[in-house]
Chain A
């Protein structure tokens, strides 16, 4: 069966520090991969999605970036974090085809001090 792993679960970082959140999927190949941010009282905001290795599309301009160095690995990064980057970050995957469900990791709670 397919599983998705996301780490760390929680992270506290000072303003201006770098960031690296990792997400890996097991049990499937060539998944579509997604990074979302969830803010309190707001819906999930899509940050990045990837349909294949090295293929990244950005939904929202910001100081975050994403990379997909391997088929089942998706990394969210920042060179210098801002206070506004605080939030709950969720990684998700979906199989190919229009009617495949999306599956989410357990999320990373990021707090910027």
Chain B
């Protein structure tokens, strides 16, 4: 059974700092890994998707890496801004009983202090 862990559970940083969010998973036979952000009371917004054959993906100030063999992914946020404050979730997609199943972590709650 796939388990996804995100550390830390919460993080508070001053504006302008670079930061790294961590995601680990137990079953390395994944199709892909997706990072989302969730604002309070809202749905999930897709940030980056990394295919199993890829090592990293970049979008603006965000860079996500994937080390499938060690079951780890990181989300790097450069020059953090107060608008980055949200909960960040990672999700891995694996084959399960003939269909693809997605398992989510609980998330890291990020607060960027002005």
Contact = CB atoms under 8 A, between A and B. Distances in A.
Interface of A: 6, 41-44, 46, 49, 51, 57, 88, 90, 92, 98-99, 101-107, 109
Given A43-B105, A99-B51, A104 B44 contact: yes
Interface of A is mostly: strand
Contact of B42 (A43, A51, A103, A106): A106
A107 B49 contact: no
Given A41-B106, A43-B105, A104 B31 contact: no
Given A44-B104, A51-B99, 13 more contacts: A44-B89, A46-B102, A57-B99, A88-B41, A98-B32, A98-B100, A99-B49, A101-B34, A102-B91, A104-B45, A107-B41, A107-B42, A107-B43
B43 A6 contact: yes
Interface in B55-114: 89, 91, 93, 99-107
Given A98-B31, A101-B49, A46 B101 contact: yes
A43 B104 contact: yes
A43 B34 contact: no
Interface residues of B, number: 25
B43 A90 contact: yes
26 contacts: A41-B106, A43-B4, A43-B106, A43-B107, A44-B91, A46-B101, A57-B99, A90-B43, A90-B44, A92-B44, A98-B32, A99-B31, A99-B32, A99-B51, A101-B46, A101-B49, A102-B102, A104-B43, A104-B44, A104-B45, A104-B46, A105-B43, A106-B43, A107-B41, A107-B42, A109-B41
B9 to A, nearest CB: 9
Q: Which of B44, B99, B101 has the most CB of A within 10 A?
A: B44
Given A44-B104, A109-B41, A102 B51 contact: no
A42 B31 contact: no
Contacts of B31: 98-99
Contacts of B36: 104
Can you list the 3 inter-chain pairs with the closest CB atoms, starting with the nearest?
A104-B43, A104-B44, A43-B104
